[in-house]
Amino acid sequence: MYRQHPCRRAFVWGATGLVLAPAAAAQDVILSAAETVELEHEDRVERLRRAAAALGLVPAPRFAVSRVPAARMPEGLRVDTPVLRVAFAERTFFDTASSLLRPEAGPVLEAVAAALRGEAPDAAVFVAGHTDNRGSEPYNYALSVRRAGAVAEALHARGVGDAALWRVGFGEAVPLYPNDTPEQMGFNRRVEFLFGARTEPVLDVLSRQLDETCVSTDAGAARRCRTTLELRDGFEAVQITSRRVGVPLERPSSGRAPLRRERGNVTLPARGARRAAGLAPPGSAAAPVVARLATIRLTARLATIAMPRR
């Protein structure tokens, strides 16, 4: 049984979100892997929604959640795993056809960086750049890579804690809607942040994006959009940080307080604490290594991580 430090005030999930709870109410429990992943996801969504609301952006960023089934998760985390996608309009960060960050992007970048500094060590975020189909495919791809890189590097400079930070560009390959109107093109020009408990589930979601492209009430327009997509053999993702991939989620104590349940609520005494039951014990998975490159193949719905030689 773990005991709460007498001076620590824990945050609990209440009717209005995270609230401060009296230390005397604490009762330690060990959470399952599934509970731990869901708790961290709920906390992540809450932090980012509050940050986005405080920024007052117009248009507001769009939030969406995908779930990777346990069968597609790596050994050591065989649970259904949510991946949060937060999409910002092009103008939040860039002027048209530019990869230079606008001055107005500063508060947004700081808000995202602050959210990342609260993540668990195993967590990953991918910055994904997207364009519409004006211009050539090579030009749009290169622009999306530069934009994703500019945002990722700016986040890295602000500090992202222990999270693994990746950048990837998809050019015009993943339009949300057919590029038939200026409004729909505007939605397609975007920068997305994808957050996950590990690198692998985010790559899984990115590899399956073709299932969500070209949404339209006009079946013919949706079909034309999908059949005219210019797709590369692979899209390269690059890790900006030097975090390890394949880190077992259960590891020797780092001095952090455990996750706790307090009279029916779950507390977060230390952001992202990972002492949870059902997680891989140290040494049960492949030894973690720093992986800097991954390849995403949209047509094959497959993503591979280039693991360096030991």
Per-residue pLDDT tens digits for 121-160? 889 999 999 999 999 999 999 999 999 999 999 999 999 9
Q: Does residue 155 sit in the same domain as residue 169? A: yes
300: CB partners within 8 A, 6+ apart = 207
Are 4 and 94 members of one domain?
no
pLDDT tens digits, 68-114: 999 999 888 899 999 999 999 999 999 999 999 999 999 999 999 99
pLDDT tens column, 283-305: 344 556 788 999 999 999 999 99
Q: How many structural domains comprise the chain?
A: 2
Domain check: are 78 and 119 in the same one?
Answer: yes
pLDDT (mean) for 9-21: 47
Range of the domain at 208: 31-245+285-306
Co-location of 165 and 146 in the same domain: yes
Shared domain check, 104 and 8: no
3-state secondary structure of 117: helix
Q: Are residues 11 and 37 in the same domain?
A: no
54 and 197 co-located in one domain: yes
- As a 3-state breakdown, the chain gives helix, strand, coil percent values, each rounded to 5, of 30, 25, 45
Give φ, ψ of 212 to 5 degrees.
Answer: -120, 15
Shared domain for 152 and 273, answered yes or no, is no
Q: What integer best gives the mean pLDDT of the chain?
A: 83
Are 36 and 26 contained in the same domain? no
CA distance 235 to 232: 7
Per-residue pLDDT, averaged over 236-264, amounts to 59
DSSP, res 310? -
pLDDT at residue number 18: 47
Q: How far is CA 191 from CA 109, 209, 237, in A?
A: 12, 15, 15
Q: Are residues 236 and 185 in the same domain?
A: yes
State the Cα–Cα distance between residues 4 and 1, nearest whole angstrom. 10
pTM, to two decimals:
0.81
Residue 249, pLDDT > 80, answer no
CATH of the domain at 75: 3.30.1330.60
- Same structural domain for residues 43 and 111? yes
DSSP symbol at 100: S
Neighbours of 8 (CB within 10 A): 12
Answer yes or no: do 59 and 107 share one domain: yes
